[in-house]
Chains A and B, each alone.
Chain A
């Protein structure tokens, strides 16, 4: 089933980690195999923040194979040597969990494709996000569990999107969890609720154009699809509008960039979305109770119609 939630503060920052945790926890009945956050934090915007995993969570319910922690250590060393090779200077490093790393790096090249390909050439290593304000944090369990595990409650920022996942068509693991980074674009992330029925056709076509897929989760296609459109010069909104005909199936999805948040709903309107919009805040989720978790007072909400695409700026 899955649940998605997103919010954008316009003209101010807020504790988006705490707010999104509340929204996603309200949707936990829609799936708690894994939960993911894409948080757009207040940063100086000078250095890149790279969230990378060097292994999987192999805890209860995981479909991944257990590996020795020494394997993670070895991969971490290679990641750091590759960063050095590419001229990326590590400013700050955090190892939140044995398999989850966060690096703040000075890197002056704009094209992240070569950079990402190099890092991900290490078997078992995946960049979860790369950007100057975006951080993708995803792991097994419900929103509260993931929030506590990664200390997200105090993250301050302008906007965020998140996903509570019930795994149906791919594994219970971090690589299949949302949000997906819009590889190789800085600060682009996607969450999706629904099923895409032309996944393999689109995947083959995009791989032939040099795009990369890390999982077999159909939702990853949206991130890659939008990224490819943007690579070819389309704006976020244009790419999303094209997706209404390019993607087949039922879907409601959100895309976020460093300064905007967008939503798209398929032409069958088969997947739910409730939307609240005011001058200083837009909040949306699969169910109204997600919005109510941050706005308990009586408010006006509505369901976007079929085939609707909307984009908001911070």
Chain B
């Protein structure tokens, strides 16, 4: 054990071995091995045929009933499902861990398409707060506007809104891409950790506040920058990527990406260590 009383302040934590210890237990990571692909599966997923199509009218269903019916249809092999009359219901389409072509003929309420992994979704309407929260993979396209917390904590996939979105878009996102055709509200990219956000229109105050990492591209005016959000050079490679992404997203294909602003984390707020608060007090 290091003698903390005689150790210089700045090296106390090092002397305690807190910067070099090997993390174990819950923090151990297991990586995907393609050779063992057959051992990886999601419980409750199905083989579906994209050419097998059906309509589902959810007008008189609760969200839970509608979601169970979607699951039931996937179990019967339907790979394309058209949802009629969603009428702003909350929590529709959540928890789909399947390849699926899902089309909503109308608007969704809160938490639509939350915690999904894999489906290709088109929403011919508007979505409420927290659309596609925790999206892992797949593509969600919204034809109209979206509420706040759009794409909160997504880890992958493409989330596209052709209209405008509310505040805190991409809050806490850890991967994937969010593309906005219109304007975005305050605190866009708040605490984002990875991934990219593209906004073709204007964006509100405190853009990228306290972002850890990731990149935000803005085509219009910026209300203000958040803490630790800074401008970065828009490279040729960035521009090529933006063009590709906008083309695939069927949005702003003729947009002049060379004039976009690129915002990244200044990384001045980082203060990572593995000290518990009580240990930190002792080390300071």
Q: Do A and B bind each other?
A: yes
Q: Any chain B CB within 8 A of the CB of A89?
A: no
Total interface residues on A, using CB and 8 Å?
20
Stretch of A117-125, A204-212, A267-275 lying at the B interface:
A267-275
Q: Any chain B CB within 8 A of the CB of A279?
A: no
A289 CB contact (under 8 Å) in B89, B129, B166: B89
A268 CB contact (under 8 Å) in B145, B183, B186: B186
Task: For A275, give the chain B residue with the smallest CB separation.
Answer: B145
B 95-132 to A, binary, CB cutoff 8 A, 1 in contact else 0: 00000000001110110000000000000011011000
Q: Report yes or no: B185 in contact with A274, Cβ–Cβ below 8 A.
A: no
Q: Any chain B CB within 8 A of the CB of A11?
A: no
Task: For A269, give the chain B residue with the smallest CB separation.
Answer: B167
Q: Any chain A CB within 8 A of the CB of B266?
A: no
A288 proximity list for chain B (CB < 8 A): 88, 107, 109, 126, 128
Q: Any chain B CB within 8 A of the CB of A237?
A: no
Once the chains are docked, how many angstroms separate the CA of A56 from the CA of B96?
49
Q: Any chain B CB within 8 A of the CB of A233?
A: no
Interface centre among A269, A287, A300, A303 (most CB of B within 10 A): A303
Given the known inter-chain contacts A287-B110, A288-B107, A288-B128, please indicate yes or no for A303 contacting B148, CB distance below 8 A.
yes
Within 8 A of A (CB), among B47-68: none
Q: Report yes or no: A303 in contact with B166, Cβ–Cβ below 8 A.
A: yes
Stretch of A46-54, A98-106, A291-299 lying at the B interface:
A291-299
Q: What total of A-B pairs shows CB separation below 8 Å?
A: 74
Total interface residues on B, using CB and 8 Å?
30
B217 proximity list for chain A (CB < 8 A): none
Once the chains are docked, how many angstroms separate the CA of A130 from the CA of B146?
39
Q: Report yes or no: A302 in contact with B126, Cβ–Cβ below 8 A.
A: yes
Q: Any chain A CB within 8 A of the CB of B164?
A: yes
Once the chains are docked, how many angstroms separate the CA of A104 from the CA of B166?
44
B126 proximity list for chain A (CB < 8 A): 288, 300-302
Q: Report yes or no: B107 in contact with A306, Cβ–Cβ below 8 A.
A: no
Interface centre among B163, B167, B205 (most CB of A within 10 A): B167
Q: Report yes or no: B88 in contact with A292, Cβ–Cβ below 8 A.
A: yes
Given the known inter-chain contacts A268-B187, A269-B185, A306-B167, please indicate yes or no for A287 contacting B109, CB distance below 8 A.
yes
Q: Report yes or no: A306 in contact with B147, Cβ–Cβ below 8 A.
A: no
B163 proximity list for chain A (CB < 8 A): 302
B90 proximity list for chain A (CB < 8 A): 287, 289
Q: Report yes or no: B167 in contact with A305, Cβ–Cβ below 8 A.
A: yes
Task: For B167, give the chain A residue with the smallest CB separation.
Answer: A269
Task: For B145, give the chain A residue with the smallest CB separation.
Answer: A302
Given the known inter-chain contacts A269-B186, A305-B167, please indicate yes or no for A289 contacting B148, CB distance below 8 A.
no
Q: Any chain A CB within 8 A of the CB of B220?
A: no
B167 CB contact (under 8 Å) in A268, A298, A301: A268
A291 proximity list for chain B (CB < 8 A): 88
Min distance, Cβ B144 to any Cβ of chain A, angstroms: 6
A289 proximity list for chain B (CB < 8 A): 87-90, 109
Majority DSSP secondary structure for residues of A touching B: loop
Min distance, Cβ A230 to any Cβ of chain B, angstroms: 28
Task: For A296, give the chain B residue with the smallest CB separation.
Answer: B87
Q: Any chain A CB within 8 A of the CB of B204?
A: yes
B146 proximity list for chain A (CB < 8 A): 303
B88 proximity list for chain A (CB < 8 A): 287-289, 291-292
Once the chains are docked, how many angstroms separate the CA of A305 from the CA of B169?
12
B187 proximity list for chain A (CB < 8 A): 268-269
Q: Report yes or no: B204 in contact with A305, Cβ–Cβ below 8 A.
A: yes
B164 proximity list for chain A (CB < 8 A): 302
Once the chains are docked, how many angstroms separate the CA of A180 from the CA of B87?
31
Once the chains are docked, how many angstroms separate the CA of A165 from the CA of B146?
25
Once the chains are docked, how many angstroms separate the CA of A269 from the CA of B72?
38
Min distance, Cβ A30 to any Cβ of chain B, angstroms: 11
Min distance, Cβ A275 to any Cβ of chain B, angstroms: 10
Once the chains are docked, how many angstroms separate the CA of A274 from the CA of B90?
14
Min distance, Cβ B27 to any Cβ of chain A, angstroms: 33
Min distance, Cβ A245 to any Cβ of chain B, angstroms: 14
Once the chains are docked, how many angstroms separate the CA of A296 from the CA of B148?
22
B109 proximity list for chain A (CB < 8 A): 287-289
Q: Report yes or no: B145 in contact with A298, Cβ–Cβ below 8 A.
A: no
Task: For B144, give the chain A residue with the smallest CB separation.
Answer: A300
12 more contacts with CB within 8 A, not counting A269-B186, A292-B87, are A269-B166, A269-B167, A272-B129, A272-B148, A288-B128, A289-B87, A291-B88, A298-B105, A298-B125, A302-B164, A303-B148, A307-B186
Q: Which 6 A-B pairs have the closest CB atoms?
A: A269-B167, A288-B88, A306-B186, A303-B166, A302-B145, A292-B88
Question: What are 20 A-B contacts with C-beta separation under 8 Å?
Answer: A267-B186, A269-B148, A269-B167, A269-B186, A272-B128, A274-B147, A287-B88, A287-B90, A287-B110, A288-B128, A289-B88, A289-B109, A298-B125, A300-B144, A300-B145, A302-B144, A302-B145, A305-B185, A306-B205, A307-B186
